[in-house]
Amino acid sequence: MVMSRIALAVVLLLLPACAASTAEPAEPAAPAPEGQNARLDVSNRSSYDMDVFAIRSGQRIRLGTAPGGETSRFTLSPGIITGGGSVYFE
């Protein structure tokens, strides 16, 4: 359930940065099995490379770069997603 909320938040936050708005919405991701880190898949439909950040408690954590026209996968450390509060992606 948490992974599907994270995936939905990512899609909603990254849509304005994407060039195409006609894509079908992504299916919610299944929860990560016990002992595995959560992943973030970013589909960059723009022709520009984009830096991806996780924002938690006002702290900006750089996850990496999503090259233009490609899908990138980032592994989220437990420190980013555990505990109370919200995590936003930019």
Alpha helix segments (H runs only) across the chain: 2-14, 78-81
What pLDDT, on a 0 to 100 scale, did the predictor assign at position 64?
Answer: 94
Rounded CA-CA distance 40/75 in Å is 6
Query: For residue 5, what are the contacts with CB-CB under 8 A and spacing of at least 6?
Result: none
What pLDDT, on a 0 to 100 scale, did the predictor assign at position 23?
Answer: 46
Rounded CA-CA distance 42/11 in Å is 8
What pLDDT, on a 0 to 100 scale, did the predictor assign at position 55?
Answer: 93
Question: pLDDT (tens digit, 0 to 9) for every residue of the chain, 90 residues total?
Answer: 555 666 555 655 555 555 444 445 555 555 555 667 789 999 999 999 999 999 988 899 999 999 999 999 999 888 888 888 888 999
What pLDDT, on a 0 to 100 scale, did the predictor assign at position 3?
Answer: 58
- Bridge partners of 89, per DSSP, are 54
